[in-house]
Structure 1
Amino acid sequence: MRSGKKPVHLAMTGGKLPRQRMWEAIRELAKGAGELSTYNVSRRAGQDDEAARDYLRALAKAGIVRQLKARDRDATWELLQDEGVEAPRVNKRGERMPPDGVECIWRALRIVGELSASEAAEQAHAGGAKITEDGARIYLQGLALAGYVTRDGGTAGKPSVFRLLPGRNSGPLHPIYQRNTYAQVYDPNLDRVVWMKGQSTEVERLRGLLREWLGIDDWQDGLIASADLVARTRKEVQA
């Protein structure tokens, strides 16, 4: 039975979910990039007017924006509460919706650095989201395929532990593991697909190492790199 909900890869425009693009447009316009109107939000976000109007009305019911002036099918708005980079999750009645489980997992991973699948599911539940241990494992495996985490353990009855690699903490928005059709990982922080099925993660790992080396600015003091960075670089060179 079809739910009518579009798969993630079809609901996206340029990778990011439509509401994320509209929220970014709202914040930019509120900061002076132009008039905060339904028309401008829809054009800047690449969405149709109806989608922008519905989201703005939902945000208004949640007290995040308020309508200033209506004109024909357009309207101007004021941003009352900037909630940061992540698009507010509200339904058409303005009620808050629980976060995605993978969103909670990515947030926890950025804080604690490593998680097993069961710990990831527990973190999601603590954040008010619903996701099974298997669902958490699938998402973490997707991050491993894209070179965001390493996977250790998983033998002799010990659960696998997924560790976030230094330099792969790309930002607050969770990387999206798309499995329905394309089998790829899209990172909204970078606004690009960082891994596709059949693609080696070696290039991404090496790019991450180079970013870390380029970030070192203590050459004159002899503090060239941490022992961990040197060890990981040697491991890549010897591979």
Structure 2
Amino acid sequence: MKKEIGLVVIVVLLCSGVSYAGLFGKSDKEVAEEIKKREAVLNASFGETLARKDKEIAAKNVEIEKLKLDNAKLSAELEESNKKLEKMEQEKSVLPVEQKVEETRTLEEIITTEITKYAQVVPSAEELKIIFNTDFFFYHDVLEAVIYRSLDVIVKALKAHPDHRIIIAGYTDSFGSSKTNLHTSLVKAKAVANYLIAKEIPEDKIIVEGLGSACPIDTNKTREGRKQNRRVEIIIK
């Protein structure tokens, strides 16, 4: 009977994971006490493990909640950044026009205040036109020295605002052949362009045109009207 009890105890110990080493040869009472002692140790160890796991799970849950909060915060920040970016893009699309108008106004101030008595300055929203009468500023196809000061003012303004493009267009009155007028107007426009290039205005910023008798600004039927039509225009865009 004692042997049967001993076997049962050993089976219980095996099933419970408790080592049965050192139990053989002991009385049932001693075995029972040893079992209780070892089960208490096992239960305590299991309880500690369970408590540790619960603590780890709780910590993980706290971490998950923190990550959720961080994610929500990041999502809100991203949405705010996208709104700011969209606003910046909208402002950026408007800025070039406003900036161009402001730069043109500044060019107008620089140029108009210094050369109005030598040339006609015609401003508009996005460009500035300076008209030089070729009878006054040219001797045949050569620039007169009197034009240098005006061109130097334009050079100064262009260097202060280098993002602009320049169109230099020459015109004549309607007298003479179309071929001669086109050639004459182009030569005079090139003379102005060459002066600007010599003053270090980039050549690739300049477009030169000889338009002959096209686009008259006055009648060609009078001497004064023809004089007005003989001109070189510098258009700053």
Regarding TM over 0.5, the answer is no
TM range (shorter): under 0.3
TM-score normalised to structure 2 length: 0.23
CA radius of gyration, larger in: 2
The structure, 1 or 2, with the larger RCO (C-alpha pairs under 8 Å, 6+ apart) is: 2
